[in-house]
Structure 1
């Protein structure tokens, strides 16, 4: 029987932490679905656009062998609908979100995985911006 895992993220400035969480999420089932935040959603959350376009970020994620399906996440308010629409058995998020998605336990299992230590997209962007030319 197929066990469908779903996770969400921006996946901007793709790094090993992204690979780690996606590979670990995939091991929890046998079909991994990834919602990639749209550029507009990112702007609404962070008041800045991602470095890479949503089309490029979706292409990167869909090229990974552990990922079976990718879709655009247009709104944080539609998480429940995304879980139902994609028939998710398990929602996986990084442990920096621990407890914040427990409200979906009536729809599917919710698992929080540890993030890769010392790796942050925001920090990578800041380091690159601060380097002398």
Structure 2
């Protein structure tokens, strides 16, 4: 039996416990975990702001996690199917805030939506840090 590959995607900016928990749960669904880290340009397009950490820094951070076997740059949301096929994904894992939005790839892999960690979000953390940071 060939190894079961789980693939997931995210920005992983300002890494927090919610990221770690979803990656651990994703890794438990297979033998290998492949992570697509959103390109800086993709983040600007979808969130209207650049990430705090650069694309290269985020790739380094995510690839250093013990549950992650491989990382790559996700340049387009529309290429999800291509990335899944290219990396041999058997299972696509996304947070439940995306529930139903990637069912269109269920013909090439199983799609699983995992619950997010309540009360933890990168945007919320960034906004909190901005309010407590001393003004220049």
TM-score bracket, normalised by the shorter chain, equals over 0.9
- Quote the residue 1:104 is aligned against: 105
User: 4+ residue runs of structure 1 moved beyond 6 angstroms?
Assistant: none
Structure 1 segments unaligned to the other structure (5+ residues): none
**Could you tell me how far apart the structure 2 residues matched to 1:83 and 1:123 are?**
30
- What SS does structure 2 have at the residue aligned with 1:111? strand
**Could you tell me how far apart the structure 1 residues matched to 2:58 and 2:87 are?**
20
Q: CA deviation at 1:47?
A: 1.5
- Quote the residue 1:31 is aligned against: 32
Deviations 1:67-119 (A, max 9, x none): 00000001111111001111100000001111111011001000000111110
- What SS does structure 2 have at the residue aligned with 1:122? helix
TM-score by length of 1: 0.98
Q: CA deviation at 1:132?
A: 5.1
- What SS does structure 2 have at the residue aligned with 1:100? coil
**Could you tell me how far apart the structure 1 residues matched to 2:133 and 2:76 are?**
37
**Could you tell me how far apart the structure 2 residues matched to 1:62 and 1:131 are?**
30
- Quote the residue 2:132 is aligned against: 131
TM-score by length of 2: 0.96
**Could you tell me how far apart the structure 1 residues matched to 2:57 and 2:84 are?**
24
| Number of residue equivalences | 133
Answer yes or no: is 1:113 the counterpart of 2:114. Answer: yes
Structure 2 segments unaligned to the other structure (5+ residues): none
